[in-house]
Amino acid sequence: MMTRLSEVIRGWLGWCPNARTMRTAPPVIVAPPVTTHPAQPGGGAGGSGRIDRGIRLATGSIKILFRNRRLFWFSLLAGLVMIFSLVINLYLQFISGTPLFPGTKLVTGPASVLIVRGSLPWIVLTFTVGLISAFLSYYLLAALIASVALILSGRAATVRDGLEQAGNCLRPLLSWAVIGALIGTAFSLIMNPATTTPGSAGNIALIFISIPFVAVFYLLTLYVVPLLVLGNESLIHAITGSLSLFRKTWREILVCFIIFFLIAFAVLLTSLVPMIAIGFSAATAGAIVVAYMLVMIVLLFIGSTVLGIAIAGLYTYGETGVLSAMFEGKRDGSEYP
């Protein structure tokens, strides 16, 4: 009976009590492959990550400038270009019969108008002055960005290095300056009361329509210039590439500019303290106003260089997805998302 029962069990279960024990290796669990993706601009901790990067870009640009004091030469050169543009535009305004300071009797126009505002000679002179100023500004910006790119890569950079590298893209920079001068001349023509009716609905509509075009042009310039000098792109590719980079980094740009505005406002507000403390007596008011204007001018010159450093940082971040650790105050070239 037991023999029959064992046969039935072996038949149904395939079990043999006399069979040798077979040792087998433990099963190997194969993990699915992990796909890694490079860091993309705008990643990180959502909105807080973008805000943090914008703050690091703004404050880090100031740190980089003061650690590389040779870059202050760009502040001086940019200041000379600004002074040249201001003086020429004021002179053009003077000879066209417009008071330089409307509502005051400081400087009045000449007895006879030499060039009528809105006339062909006035348009040509306005375009020429705008072209020269724009080209020099973009050339210095390209040289500054090239120098900062060398610094971010851990190499020493001089003003001559930046100027020489910017010299390799003079033609596209000149083409972009021509576009800027055309836009500036058209905007000046729209704002000219001699060619439009002041306060008319048509004039106001033209002003509101032209303002976005001017704003878009200057926003594109943030990436067109670095794409020309660092990316070796043609002007057309630089324009299309700037649109892509702007979509990736517009939040960082916004935060960075807000921080710059707050810092500039704090500096200007602090510089007003001596004026309030001394008072506005007739003997000291003129000297204080002059000193305050000098503070604003110096701040503007230095701010142009800080802005150029931030543009270089925004460009490298937009292209690589990582922000140089130098914007955190570190002196090496390590990077992090």
Mean pLDDT computed over 159-181: 95
Rg (CA), the chain: 32
Q: What is the pLDDT of residue 24?
A: 42
For residue 202, pLDDT over 90 is answered with no
233-290 per-position pLDDT tens digit:
999 999 999 999 999 999 999 999 999 999 988 888 887 776 666 655 556 666 777 7
Mean pLDDT computed over 41-48: 55
Percent of the chain surpassing pLDDT 70:
71
Greater pLDDT, 210 or 240:
240
For residue 314, pLDDT over 90 is answered with yes
For residue 66, pLDDT over 70 is answered with yes
Instruction: Give yes or no for a contact between 210 and 185, defined as CB atoms under 8 angstroms apart.
Output: no
DSSP state of 233: -
pTM here? 0.78
Residues 23, 194: Cα–Cα separation, whole Å: 101
Residues 227, 319: Cα–Cα separation, whole Å: 10
Q: What is the pLDDT of residue 111?
A: 58
Using CA of residue 245, residue 248, residue 250, residue 256, what is the dihedral sign?
negative
Mean pLDDT computed over 200-209: 68
The phi, psi pair for 59, rounded to 5°, reads -70, -35
Dump the DSSP string for 63-115.
HHHHHSGGGHHHHHHHHHHHHHHHHHHHHHHHHTT--SSTTSSSS---SS-SS
